Amino acid sequence: MRVLAIALAAGLLAGCGFDSSGGVADRGDGGPPDGDGGRPDAGPCPDPVHAELAVNGVSTAANGQPYVTVLIGDTVRLSAVGSCARAGEIEYDWSIADDDSDDAIEGTAAPDLASEEIDVYPLLPGDYTVRLTVGNEASTDESIEVLAFRAVGWQVSSEALDVRDLAITTGSLWVAASAGAFQLPLNDVLGTPVAVNDLSGGDDDIPNDLSAVADGNAGLVWFGHKPNDNLVWQVDLDPNPRVAEVDFTPNFEQSEVEDIGRGATGIVIATRNGVSAAPDNQTFEAPLVVAPSFALTRGDSGAWAGGARLVRLPDGVKFDLFADADNKIRALLDVDGLIWAGSDGLGVALYDPAADDVLDIFTAADDALPSDKVRAIAVDATGDLWIATQAGVARWKRDRQVWVPMEAASGLVGSTDAAAITAVGSGDARTIIAGTKDGVALLTLP
Protein backbone atom coordinates (compact mmCIF):
# COMPACT_ATOMS: atom_id res chain seq x y z
CA MET A 1 0.00 0.00 0.00
CA ARG A 2 1.34 3.44 -0.85
CA VAL A 3 1.42 5.95 1.98
CA LEU A 4 0.06 9.50 1.39
CA ALA A 5 1.12 12.48 3.56
CA ILE A 6 1.33 16.22 3.21
CA ALA A 7 4.87 17.39 3.51
CA LEU A 8 6.70 20.64 3.24
CA ALA A 9 9.73 19.92 1.08
CA ALA A 10 12.30 21.13 3.58
CA GLY A 11 15.09 21.68 1.10
CA LEU A 12 12.86 23.91 -1.02
CA LEU A 13 11.46 26.15 1.69
CA ALA A 14 14.04 28.89 1.27
CA GLY A 15 13.55 28.91 -2.47
CA CYS A 16 9.84 29.49 -2.18
CA GLY A 17 9.97 32.15 0.53
CA PHE A 18 8.16 29.94 3.06
CA ASP A 19 7.84 31.43 6.54
CA SER A 20 6.13 29.33 9.23
CA SER A 21 4.92 32.46 10.98
CA GLY A 22 2.88 33.34 7.91
CA GLY A 23 4.97 36.32 6.81
CA VAL A 24 7.42 36.86 3.95
CA ALA A 25 10.87 37.92 5.01
CA ASP A 26 12.83 40.84 3.59
CA ARG A 27 10.47 41.91 0.83
CA GLY A 28 7.14 43.39 0.03
CA ASP A 29 4.07 41.36 -0.81
CA GLY A 30 3.02 42.83 -4.13
CA GLY A 31 3.94 44.13 -7.55
CA PRO A 32 6.13 47.09 -8.49
CA PRO A 33 4.93 50.61 -7.63
CA ASP A 34 3.79 51.26 -11.19
CA GLY A 35 2.44 47.75 -11.87
CA ASP A 36 -1.06 46.38 -11.61
CA GLY A 37 -0.30 43.15 -9.74
CA GLY A 38 -2.98 43.85 -7.19
CA ARG A 39 -0.60 45.35 -4.59
CA PRO A 40 0.88 48.42 -6.41
CA ASP A 41 2.09 50.10 -3.19
CA ALA A 42 4.00 47.12 -1.79
CA GLY A 43 7.36 47.67 -3.44
CA PRO A 44 9.47 45.53 -5.79
CA CYS A 45 9.08 41.81 -6.40
CA PRO A 46 12.46 40.16 -5.75
CA ASP A 47 11.02 36.70 -4.91
CA PRO A 48 7.78 35.92 -6.77
CA VAL A 49 6.91 32.54 -5.27
CA HIS A 50 5.58 32.11 -1.74
CA ALA A 51 3.56 29.14 -0.49
CA GLU A 52 1.93 28.08 2.75
CA LEU A 53 -0.01 25.09 3.97
CA ALA A 54 -2.98 24.56 6.31
CA VAL A 55 -4.54 21.21 7.24
CA ASN A 56 -8.22 21.08 8.21
CA GLY A 57 -8.16 24.84 8.76
CA VAL A 58 -5.04 24.82 10.98
CA SER A 59 -1.86 26.49 9.68
CA THR A 60 0.95 23.96 9.66
CA ALA A 61 4.69 24.35 9.44
CA ALA A 62 7.24 21.61 8.88
CA ASN A 63 8.97 22.27 12.23
CA GLY A 64 12.22 21.09 10.72
CA GLN A 65 10.69 17.83 9.49
CA PRO A 66 10.36 16.86 5.83
CA TYR A 67 6.69 15.88 6.17
CA VAL A 68 3.40 16.87 7.69
CA THR A 69 1.23 13.76 7.55
CA VAL A 70 -2.54 13.73 7.03
CA LEU A 71 -5.34 11.20 6.63
CA ILE A 72 -7.19 10.47 3.41
CA GLY A 73 -9.85 13.13 3.05
CA ASP A 74 -8.17 15.77 5.19
CA THR A 75 -8.57 19.24 3.69
CA VAL A 76 -5.26 20.79 2.67
CA ARG A 77 -5.24 24.47 1.79
CA LEU A 78 -2.38 25.53 -0.47
CA SER A 79 -1.89 29.27 -0.41
CA ALA A 80 0.24 31.47 -2.67
CA VAL A 81 -0.65 34.63 -0.76
CA GLY A 82 2.50 36.76 -0.69
CA SER A 83 3.60 35.79 -4.18
CA CYS A 84 3.87 38.56 -6.74
CA ALA A 85 4.30 39.31 -10.43
CA ARG A 86 7.09 41.55 -11.65
CA ALA A 87 4.60 43.32 -13.91
CA GLY A 88 1.01 42.94 -14.95
CA GLU A 89 -1.76 40.93 -13.33
CA ILE A 90 -0.51 38.00 -11.31
CA GLU A 91 -1.34 34.46 -12.44
CA TYR A 92 -1.05 31.18 -10.54
CA ASP A 93 -0.63 27.64 -11.76
CA TRP A 94 -0.55 24.72 -9.30
CA SER A 95 0.26 21.16 -10.36
CA ILE A 96 0.18 17.94 -8.36
CA ALA A 97 2.23 14.84 -9.19
CA ASP A 98 2.51 11.57 -7.30
CA ASP A 99 5.22 8.93 -7.02
CA ASP A 100 3.81 6.98 -9.96
CA SER A 101 2.97 9.60 -12.55
CA ASP A 102 3.38 13.22 -13.52
CA ASP A 103 -0.34 13.92 -13.16
CA ALA A 104 -1.98 12.96 -9.86
CA ILE A 105 -5.14 14.97 -9.98
CA GLU A 106 -7.15 11.75 -10.07
CA GLY A 107 -5.72 10.92 -6.64
CA THR A 108 -6.85 14.20 -5.15
CA ALA A 109 -9.78 16.59 -5.33
CA ALA A 110 -8.70 20.07 -6.38
CA PRO A 111 -11.42 22.30 -7.84
CA ASP A 112 -9.31 25.14 -9.23
CA LEU A 113 -5.58 24.94 -9.90
CA ALA A 114 -5.34 28.54 -11.10
CA SER A 115 -6.31 30.35 -7.89
CA GLU A 116 -4.25 32.11 -5.27
CA GLU A 117 -5.56 29.62 -2.71
CA ILE A 118 -6.79 26.12 -3.43
CA ASP A 119 -8.25 23.39 -1.25
CA VAL A 120 -7.27 19.84 -2.08
CA TYR A 121 -7.85 16.58 -0.29
CA PRO A 122 -6.30 13.21 -1.05
CA LEU A 123 -8.57 10.44 -2.24
CA LEU A 124 -5.91 7.72 -2.41
CA PRO A 125 -2.78 6.86 -0.44
CA GLY A 126 0.50 7.91 -2.03
CA ASP A 127 3.26 10.54 -2.02
CA TYR A 128 2.48 13.77 -3.85
CA THR A 129 4.53 16.78 -4.89
CA VAL A 130 3.02 20.22 -5.47
CA ARG A 131 4.56 22.72 -7.88
CA LEU A 132 3.64 26.38 -8.03
CA THR A 133 4.24 28.65 -11.02
CA VAL A 134 3.67 32.40 -10.65
CA GLY A 135 3.74 34.86 -13.53
CA ASN A 136 1.62 37.20 -15.65
CA GLU A 137 0.16 37.22 -19.12
CA ALA A 138 3.46 38.39 -20.61
CA SER A 139 5.99 36.17 -18.83
CA THR A 140 6.16 33.27 -16.40
CA ASP A 141 8.69 32.61 -13.68
CA GLU A 142 10.18 29.13 -13.59
CA SER A 143 8.00 26.80 -11.57
CA ILE A 144 9.32 25.79 -8.18
CA GLU A 145 8.66 22.58 -6.30
CA VAL A 146 7.34 24.08 -3.09
CA LEU A 147 5.32 21.46 -1.22
CA ALA A 148 4.84 17.73 -0.98
CA PHE A 149 2.21 15.75 0.85
CA ARG A 150 1.65 12.23 2.08
CA ALA A 151 -1.70 10.95 3.32
CA VAL A 152 -2.04 7.63 5.09
CA GLY A 153 -4.68 5.08 4.14
CA TRP A 154 -6.30 2.22 6.00
CA GLN A 155 -4.34 -0.59 7.60
CA VAL A 156 -6.13 -3.93 7.94
CA SER A 157 -5.45 -6.51 10.63
CA SER A 158 -4.09 -9.90 9.59
CA GLU A 159 -6.36 -11.43 12.25
CA ALA A 160 -9.45 -12.69 10.40
CA LEU A 161 -12.51 -11.74 12.44
CA ASP A 162 -16.09 -11.22 11.31
CA VAL A 163 -16.79 -7.99 13.22
CA ARG A 164 -20.41 -7.00 13.87
CA ASP A 165 -19.96 -4.07 16.31
CA LEU A 166 -17.30 -2.06 18.18
CA ALA A 167 -17.14 -0.11 21.46
CA ILE A 168 -14.38 1.87 23.16
CA THR A 169 -13.55 2.26 26.84
CA THR A 170 -10.43 3.81 28.34
CA GLY A 171 -7.54 1.98 26.75
CA SER A 172 -9.57 -0.83 25.15
CA LEU A 173 -11.47 -1.73 22.00
CA TRP A 174 -14.30 -4.23 22.50
CA VAL A 175 -15.43 -6.35 19.57
CA ALA A 176 -18.72 -8.20 19.03
CA ALA A 177 -17.98 -10.82 16.38
CA SER A 178 -19.41 -13.99 14.93
CA ALA A 179 -16.77 -15.89 16.92
CA GLY A 180 -17.65 -14.22 20.24
CA ALA A 181 -16.61 -11.25 22.39
CA PHE A 182 -13.06 -9.89 22.18
CA GLN A 183 -10.87 -7.16 23.65
CA LEU A 184 -7.92 -5.34 22.09
CA PRO A 185 -5.71 -2.59 23.54
CA LEU A 186 -6.33 0.73 21.79
CA ASN A 187 -2.63 1.06 21.11
CA ASP A 188 -2.62 -2.27 19.21
CA VAL A 189 -6.02 -2.76 17.59
CA LEU A 190 -4.45 -4.62 14.67
CA GLY A 191 -2.94 -7.15 17.04
CA THR A 192 -4.26 -10.47 18.30
CA PRO A 193 -7.71 -10.17 19.90
CA VAL A 194 -8.22 -11.77 23.32
CA ALA A 195 -11.50 -13.57 24.06
CA VAL A 196 -13.42 -11.76 26.81
CA ASN A 197 -14.34 -15.08 28.41
CA ASP A 198 -10.62 -15.67 28.99
CA LEU A 199 -10.48 -12.40 30.96
CA SER A 200 -13.54 -12.94 33.10
CA GLY A 201 -13.83 -14.27 36.62
CA GLY A 202 -17.59 -14.62 36.42
CA ASP A 203 -19.71 -17.74 36.18
CA ASP A 204 -21.27 -16.84 32.82
CA ASP A 205 -19.68 -17.07 29.38
CA ILE A 206 -20.60 -14.88 26.42
CA PRO A 207 -21.59 -17.08 23.44
CA ASN A 208 -20.60 -16.82 19.79
CA ASP A 209 -22.63 -15.14 17.03
CA LEU A 210 -22.82 -11.71 18.65
CA SER A 211 -24.49 -8.69 17.09
CA ALA A 212 -23.91 -5.66 19.34
CA VAL A 213 -21.59 -4.18 21.96
CA ALA A 214 -21.73 -0.89 23.89
CA ASP A 215 -19.83 1.04 26.53
CA GLY A 216 -22.53 1.46 29.18
CA ASN A 217 -22.90 3.39 32.42
CA ALA A 218 -21.29 2.33 35.71
CA GLY A 219 -18.18 0.86 34.10
CA LEU A 220 -20.01 -1.88 32.22
CA VAL A 221 -19.55 -3.18 28.69
CA TRP A 222 -22.59 -4.91 27.18
CA PHE A 223 -22.87 -7.60 24.49
CA GLY A 224 -25.97 -8.71 22.58
CA HIS A 225 -26.71 -11.99 20.78
CA LYS A 226 -27.76 -12.32 17.14
CA PRO A 227 -29.92 -15.50 17.37
CA ASN A 228 -33.22 -15.37 19.24
CA ASP A 229 -32.32 -15.37 22.90
CA ASN A 230 -33.44 -14.01 26.25
CA LEU A 231 -30.09 -12.70 27.50
CA VAL A 232 -27.63 -9.86 27.20
CA TRP A 233 -24.22 -9.98 28.87
CA GLN A 234 -22.49 -7.35 30.97
CA VAL A 235 -18.76 -7.16 31.63
CA ASP A 236 -17.79 -5.40 34.87
CA LEU A 237 -14.41 -3.75 34.29
CA ASP A 238 -13.66 -2.83 37.91
CA PRO A 239 -11.54 -4.25 39.41
CA ASN A 240 -11.20 -7.10 36.88
CA PRO A 241 -13.36 -8.08 33.88
CA ARG A 242 -16.20 -10.25 35.11
CA VAL A 243 -19.10 -11.52 33.00
CA ALA A 244 -22.73 -11.70 34.16
CA GLU A 245 -25.87 -12.43 32.15
CA VAL A 246 -29.05 -10.36 32.37
CA ASP A 247 -32.45 -11.70 31.31
CA PHE A 248 -34.78 -9.47 29.26
CA THR A 249 -37.54 -12.10 28.74
CA PRO A 250 -40.18 -10.32 30.86
CA ASN A 251 -40.69 -8.07 27.84
CA PHE A 252 -39.99 -10.01 24.68
CA GLU A 253 -39.43 -13.62 25.67
CA GLN A 254 -36.77 -14.36 23.04
CA SER A 255 -35.49 -11.89 20.45
CA GLU A 256 -32.47 -10.96 18.34
CA VAL A 257 -30.58 -7.98 19.83
CA GLU A 258 -29.74 -5.43 17.10
CA ASP A 259 -28.20 -2.57 19.08
CA ILE A 260 -27.25 -1.58 22.63
CA GLY A 261 -27.00 1.99 23.93
CA ARG A 262 -26.79 4.04 27.08
CA GLY A 263 -29.90 5.24 28.81
CA ALA A 264 -30.00 8.08 31.33
CA THR A 265 -28.77 5.76 34.10
CA GLY A 266 -28.65 2.24 32.66
CA ILE A 267 -28.81 0.34 29.41
CA VAL A 268 -31.23 0.26 26.44
CA ILE A 269 -31.54 -2.55 23.91
CA ALA A 270 -33.06 -2.54 20.42
CA THR A 271 -34.37 -5.94 19.36
CA ARG A 272 -36.39 -7.52 16.58
CA ASN A 273 -39.39 -7.27 18.92
CA GLY A 274 -38.87 -3.69 20.09
CA VAL A 275 -36.94 -1.48 22.53
CA SER A 276 -36.57 -2.00 26.27
CA ALA A 277 -34.51 -0.32 29.02
CA ALA A 278 -32.97 -1.42 32.29
CA PRO A 279 -32.35 1.83 34.23
CA ASP A 280 -30.62 -0.10 37.01
CA ASN A 281 -28.61 -2.26 34.59
CA GLN A 282 -30.43 -5.34 35.94
CA THR A 283 -34.20 -5.17 35.44
CA PHE A 284 -35.77 -4.47 32.06
CA GLU A 285 -38.98 -2.44 32.26
CA ALA A 286 -42.06 -2.34 30.03
CA PRO A 287 -41.21 -1.99 26.32
CA LEU A 288 -40.71 1.52 24.96
CA VAL A 289 -41.33 0.30 21.40
CA VAL A 290 -42.98 -2.95 20.26
CA ALA A 291 -41.95 -2.85 16.57
CA PRO A 292 -38.70 -4.26 15.11
CA SER A 293 -35.86 -1.85 15.99
CA PHE A 294 -32.30 -1.85 14.69
CA ALA A 295 -30.48 1.25 15.97
CA LEU A 296 -30.31 3.61 18.97
CA THR A 297 -28.88 7.06 19.66
CA ARG A 298 -28.98 9.55 22.51
CA GLY A 299 -27.83 13.17 22.36
CA ASP A 300 -28.82 16.82 22.41
CA SER A 301 -32.15 16.11 20.70
CA GLY A 302 -33.12 13.31 23.11
CA ALA A 303 -33.26 9.53 22.68
CA TRP A 304 -34.23 7.77 19.44
CA ALA A 305 -34.65 4.34 17.92
CA GLY A 306 -34.61 3.32 14.27
CA GLY A 307 -36.77 0.70 12.60
CA ALA A 308 -39.01 1.07 9.58
CA ARG A 309 -39.23 4.70 10.80
CA LEU A 310 -37.43 6.96 13.23
CA VAL A 311 -39.00 6.64 16.69
CA ARG A 312 -38.69 9.15 19.52
CA LEU A 313 -38.15 7.68 22.98
CA PRO A 314 -39.83 7.23 25.34
CA ASP A 315 -43.13 8.44 23.85
CA GLY A 316 -42.89 6.30 20.67
CA VAL A 317 -43.81 9.07 18.19
CA LYS A 318 -42.76 8.04 14.66
CA PHE A 319 -41.21 10.09 11.85
CA ASP A 320 -40.72 9.16 8.18
CA LEU A 321 -37.23 10.00 6.91
CA PHE A 322 -37.14 8.03 3.67
CA ALA A 323 -39.69 7.83 0.88
CA ASP A 324 -39.89 4.06 1.39
CA ALA A 325 -41.30 3.75 4.90
CA ASP A 326 -40.41 0.03 4.96
CA ASN A 327 -36.70 0.74 4.59
CA LYS A 328 -34.90 -0.27 7.78
CA ILE A 329 -32.91 2.39 9.65
CA ARG A 330 -29.75 0.48 10.60
CA ALA A 331 -27.64 3.31 12.04
CA LEU A 332 -28.37 6.47 14.07
CA LEU A 333 -26.26 9.27 15.49
CA ASP A 334 -27.24 12.55 17.16
CA VAL A 335 -24.66 15.23 16.31
CA ASP A 336 -25.35 18.63 17.87
CA GLY A 337 -29.09 18.01 17.92
CA LEU A 338 -29.34 16.79 14.31
CA ILE A 339 -30.03 13.14 13.52
CA TRP A 340 -27.96 11.24 10.96
CA ALA A 341 -29.78 8.06 9.93
CA GLY A 342 -28.34 5.27 7.79
CA SER A 343 -30.80 3.05 5.95
CA ASP A 344 -30.65 -0.53 4.74
CA GLY A 345 -30.71 0.53 1.10
CA LEU A 346 -31.49 4.24 0.65
CA GLY A 347 -28.36 5.96 1.91
CA VAL A 348 -28.12 8.53 4.71
CA ALA A 349 -30.74 11.04 5.84
CA LEU A 350 -30.02 14.21 7.82
CA TYR A 351 -33.00 15.15 10.00
CA ASP A 352 -33.68 18.22 12.15
CA PRO A 353 -36.01 17.17 15.00
CA ALA A 354 -36.63 20.75 16.12
CA ALA A 355 -38.05 21.68 12.70
CA ASP A 356 -39.34 18.17 11.89
CA ASP A 357 -37.54 18.49 8.57
CA VAL A 358 -35.40 16.11 6.51
CA LEU A 359 -32.58 18.46 5.49
CA ASP A 360 -30.93 16.14 2.98
CA ILE A 361 -30.61 12.56 1.79
CA PHE A 362 -27.24 11.32 0.54
CA THR A 363 -26.92 8.34 -1.82
CA ALA A 364 -24.32 6.43 -3.80
CA ALA A 365 -25.71 7.78 -7.08
CA ASP A 366 -25.71 11.44 -6.11
CA ASP A 367 -23.03 11.76 -3.43
CA ALA A 368 -20.43 9.06 -4.11
CA LEU A 369 -21.26 6.92 -1.08
CA PRO A 370 -19.63 3.49 -1.50
CA SER A 371 -23.06 1.89 -0.97
CA ASP A 372 -26.58 2.84 0.06
CA LYS A 373 -26.52 -0.01 2.61
CA VAL A 374 -25.32 1.85 5.73
CA ARG A 375 -24.51 -0.15 8.85
CA ALA A 376 -22.91 2.30 11.32
CA ILE A 377 -22.17 6.02 11.84
CA ALA A 378 -19.52 7.76 13.98
CA VAL A 379 -18.26 11.32 14.48
CA ASP A 380 -14.69 12.36 15.18
CA ALA A 381 -13.33 15.24 17.26
CA THR A 382 -13.25 17.57 14.22
CA GLY A 383 -16.97 17.08 13.60
CA ASP A 384 -16.44 14.97 10.48
CA LEU A 385 -18.81 12.05 10.06
CA TRP A 386 -17.79 8.47 9.20
CA ILE A 387 -20.12 5.79 7.86
CA ALA A 388 -19.58 2.05 7.47
CA THR A 389 -21.31 0.57 4.42
CA GLN A 390 -21.52 -2.73 2.62
CA ALA A 391 -18.90 -1.54 0.10
CA GLY A 392 -16.50 0.54 2.19
CA VAL A 393 -16.28 3.62 4.38
CA ALA A 394 -17.15 7.24 3.60
CA ARG A 395 -16.12 10.43 5.38
CA TRP A 396 -18.34 13.52 5.50
CA LYS A 397 -16.00 16.52 5.35
CA ARG A 398 -17.90 19.12 7.30
CA ASP A 399 -15.76 22.04 6.12
CA ARG A 400 -16.28 21.18 2.46
CA GLN A 401 -19.76 19.62 2.76
CA VAL A 402 -18.74 16.64 0.63
CA TRP A 403 -18.41 12.87 1.06
CA VAL A 404 -15.01 11.24 0.57
CA PRO A 405 -15.49 7.57 -0.39
CA MET A 406 -12.95 5.02 0.86
CA GLU A 407 -13.08 1.68 -0.87
CA ALA A 408 -10.49 -1.01 -1.67
CA ALA A 409 -7.96 1.46 -3.12
CA SER A 410 -7.91 3.38 0.18
CA GLY A 411 -6.33 0.38 1.87
CA LEU A 412 -9.49 -1.63 2.58
CA VAL A 413 -8.34 -4.43 0.28
CA GLY A 414 -10.50 -7.46 1.00
CA SER A 415 -12.23 -5.59 3.85
CA THR A 416 -14.77 -3.34 2.20
CA ASP A 417 -17.85 -4.94 3.81
CA ALA A 418 -17.93 -2.79 6.96
CA ALA A 419 -20.46 -3.29 9.76
CA ALA A 420 -19.08 -1.00 12.46
CA ILE A 421 -17.09 2.21 12.87
CA THR A 422 -15.89 4.34 15.77
CA ALA A 423 -13.58 7.32 16.35
CA VAL A 424 -11.27 8.21 19.22
CA GLY A 425 -8.74 10.95 19.97
CA SER A 426 -8.24 14.40 18.50
CA GLY A 427 -5.80 16.39 16.42
CA ASP A 428 -2.75 14.40 15.36
CA ALA A 429 -3.83 11.62 17.73
CA ARG A 430 -7.20 10.99 16.09
CA THR A 431 -7.92 7.40 15.11
CA ILE A 432 -10.76 5.86 13.11
CA ILE A 433 -11.46 2.16 13.61
CA ALA A 434 -13.73 0.13 11.34
CA GLY A 435 -15.02 -3.39 11.82
CA THR A 436 -15.37 -5.48 8.67
CA LYS A 437 -16.21 -9.06 7.77
CA ASP A 438 -12.47 -9.67 7.46
CA GLY A 439 -11.24 -7.99 10.64
CA VAL A 440 -10.41 -4.65 12.23
CA ALA A 441 -9.24 -1.75 10.03
CA LEU A 442 -7.35 1.29 11.29
CA LEU A 443 -6.99 4.81 9.89
CA THR A 444 -4.55 6.92 11.91
CA LEU A 445 -1.48 9.11 11.62
CA PRO A 446 1.87 7.34 12.11
* Tens digits of residue pLDDT in 163-219: 999 999 999 999 999 999 999 999 999 999 999 998 888 888 999 999 999 999 988
Closest CA to 379 of 345, 409, 348, 408: 348
Lowest mean pLDDT among 30-44, 70-84, 132-146: 30-44
pLDDT tens, residue by residue, 129-146: 778 888 776 666 556 666
Lowest mean pLDDT among 148-162, 181-195, 289-303, 375-389: 148-162
Q: What pTM was estimated for this model as a whole?
A: 0.85
Q: How far is CA 394 from CA 109, 369, 379, in A?
A: 15, 6, 12
Domain 5-152 annotated CATH 2.60.40.10? yes
Average pLDDT over residues 419-446: 93
> Phi and psi dihedrals of 159, rounded to 5?
-85, 105
Is residue 126 helix, strand or coil?
A: strand
CATH architecture of 155-444: 7 Propeller (2.130)
Task: Tell me how far apart the alpha carbons of residues 43 and 269 are, in angstroms, rounded to a whole number.
Answer: 69
Cβ(423)–Cβ(431) under 8 Å? yes
Residue 12 has pLDDT above 80, yes or no: no
pLDDT tens, residue by residue, 38-47: 444 345 676 6
Same fold, 5-152 and 155-444: no
Cβ(338)–Cβ(352) under 8 Å? yes
Contacts of 336 (CB under 8 A, 6+ apart): 299, 300
Q: Which long-range contacts (CB under 8 A, 24 or more apart) does 101-108 make?
A: 104/128, 107/4
Q: Report the first-to-last Cα separation within the chain, whole angstroms.
A: 14
Across the chain, what does the average pLDDT equal?
82
Q: Where are the domains of the chain?
A: 5-152, 155-444
Lowest mean pLDDT among 41-50, 124-133, 352-361, 413-422: 41-50
* pLDDT (0 to 100) of residue 69: 81
Which of 260 and 95 is assigned the larger pLDDT?
260
